[in-house]
Amino acid sequence: MRLFLLGVVLVAVSMSGCKKEEASPAAGALRVSLAYATFQPRCLTLTVVDLEDASRTESKEVQVVQGVRSDTRTVAIFGREGWSRNLRLTATANERSCNGALVAEQSVEAQMPEVGIADARLDLRAEDLDNDSYVSNKGPRPGTDCDDSDEDVHPQATELCDGIDNNCANGEGDAPGAQEYYRDRDGDGYGDRDALAIPSCVQPASTATRGGDCNDGDGTIHPDQQESRCDGVDEDCDGTKDDDAFAVGAACATALGCQGVNACQSVSSAACVSAEQPVPWYLDDDGDGSAGTETAASCVKPAPGASTMRTDCDDGTSRASSTFIGNELCDRLDNDCDGSTDEDLTGCSATPWTEDTGVGASGARWNAVAPSGGNRGWLAGDGGRVLYVNGATFTAVGSCPGDWKAAWVASTGRVFIGSAAGKLATATPGALDTCAEVNGVAGSSINGMVGFEQGTTVRLFAVDSQGRVIRWEYVEGAPSQAAPTLVTQVAANLRAIHGLGPETLLAVGMEDVGGTERPVAWRAPASGSTWTKEDLGNTGTTGFLRAVRVLTPGLAYAAGDKGLLLERSGTTWTQKPVLTVSGDPVDLRAMVAFGRTAIYAVTSVVRDIQFFNGTAWTSVNVPPNTLNALEGTGPGDIWGAGSGGTLMRWQP
């Protein structure tokens, strides 16, 4: 079968019909009228299908007159060999091109006549009322024109921000001046991050210009803010819950150094939480290679040399540790930390004190003693008495007027002394005919002193009854010596001073608090010039601290009235057992310490030399007269001096 576009002229062309009808191929023809109205089809097509065999089909594009919106085109159909006479005719019209929208369609059935010409008609209807070549998008076969009353509105129009969907797509969203908006249901100014952006020239209701809101149902949740609650909610929509100041989930370390992660503790706070358990640590405070000073539990080593095992039974002296090399010493210390003291040392416990009385004079009162080792040392007291001791030989310094209250000896054997009138003096074993005396910074009694050597220079520190700390720098062999200077003055009556160096000095005495005498201690600065009053806690006593001994940078002892013995461990003072006699506390006049388990003291009530082993007090000797001073070069060389010219020495 052949289809020909003939305009309005019918031309007969021979055809062959079905085999069963043996008609002449030129027996008949169909004249098809294709009518369309109110639009201009850009692609008009006629399709013929054999009803008895749908595989037999042919289509023909029918030419139209451009610019004509209503017309009728005529097509002649002639028979073809092998086709039946029963046909379906379908006319279609597309908008703009054969690939455009199908906007009109009609089908009819027709029979090819055996002879002559039969007519068939197909009517196509669509609306292009504004004649812009785009068919209205309404009706059963809609086109693409969203406003068929305005020729400037169609898919190929330029979109403008004018309140009209000019190109019939996305409203005004694709206009060059359009902005993207995001649905904002909770009104917090941020749109739903999961919703598509809405392009528009005018902001739609319930939208925001910013997106990223991870919970558009809660106005307190949106980007560009800090997390304000620790509650498992991502308030700032950055993908992390409870970050910012809470830093939940971040690696951290607790105050004890345990590794963990931050976790909420309440709606307003987070803290580092660790499954790691802190353990007690022991410090090597005395520097002997063994650790024995317990410190707070921690997950990290608090200092070099610290250990989780205690290997030092007395970390206040290098003479006692589990790594002590050598035999046990006769010094009342458990040198090898095996739990026994002075074991296997026959007669150690019975070693007598050497007792000398009437030294210097039968009525001599010795206020200070300064052993220098090798059974040599110095005594200083009232009435200008200064005495050099060499074993059993006692030699008085020829001229040293004054009531001497304090003494300290250098490694050279040179002694430094302080008087009740605030004067300082020095003497040496090689020149005992006189002492070199200088005025201090005031006339108050110098009650205690300690010195530090550097080369040929001695830096001497002394304290007086008016709270002064005085420094005297003495240079051995210099033609002249600098005068003493005032370091500081505190509100106290100071009685003793000691330290391992100028930066570890402690000065002790008494302060007046509303008319009541209270024990007090002052600490030297590590740098600068400001001394700090120590917090002794509630001692429950009145009176003076009269002695102090610094054993390590972290350990010191102070002793005084009412049997008070204080231990400074780290920066904390704690009270040790009070020394009592017949159930009553007694004043401690002097004290010397060689470790946590080796402290000696003398009192004003009984003559006994008392020993504190870290747990309890015991009497180790009863001198013939009251002692006023104690000192020693070590736990095996202890000297005491006092009234009646008494000198006691324990040198096992």
- Residues 28 and 114: beta-carbon distance below 8 Å: yes
Q: Tell me whether residue 312 is in a domain.
A: yes
92 and 163 belong to one structural domain: no
Give the CATH number, domain containing residue 571: 2.130.10.10
Instruction: Write the CB contacts of 348 (distance below 8 Å, at least 6 apart in sequence).
Output: 330, 342, 652
Q: Tell me whether residue 183 is in a domain.
A: yes
Residue 467 has a CB neighbour count (10 Å cut-off) of 21
Instruction: Write the CB contacts of 410 (distance below 8 Å, at least 6 apart in sequence).
Output: 372, 416, 451, 453, 458
601 and 520 belong to one structural domain: yes
Q: Tell me whether residue 413 is in a domain.
A: no
Phi-psi region of 226 (alpha: psi -120 to 50; beta: other; left: phi over 0): beta
Per-residue pLDDT reduced to its tens digit, 266-281 = 999 999 999 999 999 9
Per-residue pLDDT reduced to its tens digit, 489-509 = 999 999 999 999 999 999 999
pLDDT the model gives residue 178: 87
247 has pLDDT over 90: yes
207 and 287 belong to one structural domain: no
Burial class (CB in 10 A: 0-12, 13-18, 19+), 304: exposed
Total number of domains constituting the chain: 4
Domain boundary among 349, 374, 394: 349
Per-residue pLDDT reduced to its tens digit, 450-472 = 999 999 999 999 999 999 999 99
89 and 162 belong to one structural domain: no
- Residues 150 and 165: beta-carbon distance below 8 Å: no
Distance from C-alpha of 434 to C-alpha of 430, rounded to nearest angstrom: 11
Q: Tell me whether residue 567 is in a domain.
A: yes
206 and 287 belong to one structural domain: no
464 and 582 belong to one structural domain: yes
Per-residue pLDDT reduced to its tens digit, 134-172 = 999 999 999 999 999 999 999 999 999 998 999 999 888
pLDDT the model gives residue 185: 95
3-class state of residue 231 by DSSP: coil
480 and 579 belong to one structural domain: yes
Q: What is the mean pLDDT of residues 352-368?
A: 96
- Mean per-residue pLDDT of the chain: 92
Domain boundary among 291, 316, 349: 349
pLDDT the model gives residue 27: 64
pLDDT the model gives residue 59: 94
Percent of the chain whose pLDDT exceeds 90: 81
Q: Tell me whether residue 617 is in a domain.
A: yes
581 and 446 belong to one structural domain: yes
171 and 92 belong to one structural domain: no
84 and 171 belong to one structural domain: no
191 and 305 belong to one structural domain: no
573 has pLDDT over 70: yes
162 and 292 belong to one structural domain: no
- Among the listed residues 446, 452, 420, 426, the one whose alpha carbon sits nearest the alpha carbon of residue 438: 426
- Residues 395 and 434: beta-carbon distance below 8 Å: no
Domain boundary among 80, 102, 125: 125
What is the pTM (predicted TM-score) of this model? Answer: 0.65
Domain limits for position 277: 271-349
111 has pLDDT over 70: yes
3-state secondary structure 518-557: EEEEEECCCCCCCCEECCCCCCCCCCCEEEEEEEECCEEE
Q: Tell me whether residue 391 is in a domain.
A: no
Helix (H) or strand (E) holding 509: strand 506-513
Q: Tell me whether residue 398 is in a domain.
A: no
- Type of residue found at 490: V
11 has pLDDT over 80: no
pLDDT the model gives residue 81: 87
Q: What is the mean pLDDT of residues 90-96?
A: 96
Give the CATH number, domain containing residue 101: 2.60.40
Q: Tell me whether residue 151 is in a domain.
A: no
14 has pLDDT over 70: no
pLDDT the model gives residue 325: 76
20 has pLDDT over 90: no
352 has pLDDT over 90: yes
